[in-house]
C-alpha cells in the first residue's frame, strides 16, 4: 500500500513533489480527477460526491491514508467524510490545518484552545468553491481569535494553469490581488489556498509587495505529513506508487511533465 495524494487536477503535484522530497522512503500514489476538473466552480454536493468516489478508488488501490491535496475538496468534503465515518484502518486528511498551524505559529498537533496571534489581517486567495465554503475561516477559529480574513475568489487561474497559459494566469493573479487590496489594503499575510497557486507564488508576492508573508502549501503539508507518519507509522505505504487519472492519460502525462519539469506517466484509473 502507498500513501495517496488526491487532487481534482494537476495542482496537487506541488504537494506530491514536496512530499517526495521530504519523505523519499515513502511510496506515493497520486490520483488526478482530470475528467471532472476544475472542482472550484462546482457546488458543494457535487464536490463531495466526486471526492468520495476518488478516495474510494484510492482505497481500492491499497491506500489506507489519503491526503486531499485539493483545497476545494478539503473545504467541501473532508469534514463530511470524517463525520460520516471512515472504514476501519482508513484515514483522510486535508491541507488547511498545516497552513493554519504555520500562520498561527502552533506546533504540529497543538490542540490547545484558540488564542491571540501576531497576524491580524490575512488575505486568502482561493477558488470560488473554497471561498464560498468558509472552511478556512472555520478551521482558523479553532486555533486563533481576532484574525480578520479577507477572501478573494480567483476565478480562471486554475484553468489557465492547467491549460499551460502562463501569460493569462499571471494577468489573472495580478487582477485578483488588486481586487483583494481594494478590500484589505495592507494584509500582513497571504494564504495561497489552492495547490495550483504555488506555481504563481512569485507573481503573488510581487503583486502583494515584500511586506506581506506568503504561505503556500507544498512544504507545509509535507512536513505535517512527516509528523503524522511519525505518530502513525502503520499508515506509511510500502506498496506500489504511481500516477492515476480519470482523464486522458497521455494528455495528462504531457501536462504533468511540463508542470513539474520532469517526466511523469499517468495511467487510467479503473
Catalytic residue status for 70: yes
Longest dimension (CA), the chain: 50
Q: Does the pLDDT of residue 151 top 80, yes or no?
A: yes
What does the block give as the cell for 93?
Answer: 486528511
Q: Does the pLDDT of residue 239 top 90, yes or no?
A: no
| pLDDT: which is higher, 199 or 184 | 184
Q: CA 116 to CA 158: how far, in whole Å?
A: 34
> What mean pLDDT do residues 249-262 have?
92
What does the block give as the cell for 66?
Answer: 489519503
Best CA proximity match to 100, nearest among 83, 81, 122, 85: 122
The answer to whether 229 and 235 are in contact (CB under 8 A) is: yes
Predicted local confidence at residue 260, as pLDDT: 86
Confidence of residue 246 (pLDDT cuts 50, 70, 90): very high
> What mean pLDDT do residues 89-95 have?
95
Q: Kindly report which listed range (200-204, 216-220, 236-240) carries the lowest average pLDDT score.
A: 236-240
Confidence of residue 236 (pLDDT cuts 50, 70, 90): confident
> What mean pLDDT do residues 185-192 have?
96
Q: CA 179 to CA 14: how far, in whole Å?
A: 26
> What mean pLDDT do residues 71-92 have?
94
What does the block give as the cell for 149?
Answer: 480574513
Q: pLDDT digits over 100-127, tens only?
A: 989 998 876 777 899 999 999 999 999 9
Q: Does the pLDDT of residue 201 top 70, yes or no?
A: yes
Predicted local confidence at residue 106, as pLDDT: 84
Q: CA 79 to CA 76: how far, in whole Å?
A: 8
In order of start, what are the domains of the chain with their CATH numbers?
A: 3-94+219-268 (3.40.50.1860), 97-217 (3.40.50.1860)
The residue assigned the cell 481534482 is 8
Q: Does the pLDDT of residue 1 top 80, yes or no?
A: no
β-pairing, 91-93 with 121-126? unpaired
Q: CA 216 to CA 190: how far, in whole Å?
A: 9
Q: 130 to each of 170, 178, 210, how far by Cα in Å?
A: 21, 20, 26
Q: 143 CB contacts (<8 Å, ≥6 apart)?
A: 100, 101, 104, 106, 110, 114, 115
State the catalytic residue, choosing from 63, 70, 154, 270: 70
Amino acid at each position: 500500500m502507498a500513501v495517496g495524494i488526491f487532487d481534482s487536477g494537476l495542482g496537487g503535484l506541488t504537494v506530491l513533489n514536496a512530499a517526495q522530497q521530504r519523505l523519499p522512503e515513502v511510496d506515493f500514489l497520486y490520483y488526478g480527477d482530470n475528467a471532472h476538473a476544475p472542482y472550484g466552480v462546482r457546488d458543494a454536493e457535487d464536490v463531495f460526491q466526486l471526492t468520495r468516489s476518488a478516495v474510494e478508488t484510492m482505497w481500492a488501490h491499497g491506500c489506507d491514508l489519503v491526503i486531499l491535496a485539493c483545497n476545494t475538496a478539503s473545504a467541501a468534503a473532508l469534514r463530511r467524510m470524517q463525520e460520516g465515518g471512515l472504514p476501519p484502518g482508513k484515514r483522510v486528511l486535508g491541507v488547511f490545518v498545516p497552513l493554519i498551524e504555520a500562520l498561527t505559529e502552533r506546533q504540529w498537533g497543538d490542540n490547545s484552545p484558540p488564542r491571540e496571534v501576531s497576524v491580524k489581517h490575512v488575505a486568502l486567495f482561493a477558488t470560488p468553491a473554497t471561498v464560498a465554503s468558509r472552511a478556512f475561516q472555520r478551521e482558523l477559529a479553532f486555533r486563533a481569535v481576532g484574525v480578520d480574513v479577507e477572501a478573494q475568489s480567483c476565478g480562471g487561474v486554475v484553468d489557465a494553469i492547467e491549460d499551460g497559459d502562463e501569460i493569462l494566469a499571471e494577468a489573472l493573479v495580478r487582477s485578483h490581488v488588486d481586487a483583494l487590496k481594494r478590500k484589505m489594503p495592507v494584509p500582513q499575510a497571504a494564504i495561497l489556498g489552492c495547490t495550483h497557486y504555488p506555481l504563481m507564488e512569485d507573481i503573488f508576492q510581487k503583486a502583494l509587495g515584500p511586506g506581506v508573508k506568503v504561505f503556500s502549501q507544498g512544504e507545509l503539508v509535507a512536513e505535517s505529513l512527516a509528523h503524522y507518519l511519525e505518530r502513525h507509522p502503520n499508515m506509511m505505504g510500502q506498496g506500489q506508487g504511481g500516477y492515476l487519472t480519470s482523464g486522458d492519460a497521455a494528455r495528462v502525462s504531457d501536462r504533468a511533465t511540463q508542470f513539474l519539469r520532469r517526466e511523469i506517466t499517468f495511467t487510467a484509473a479503473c
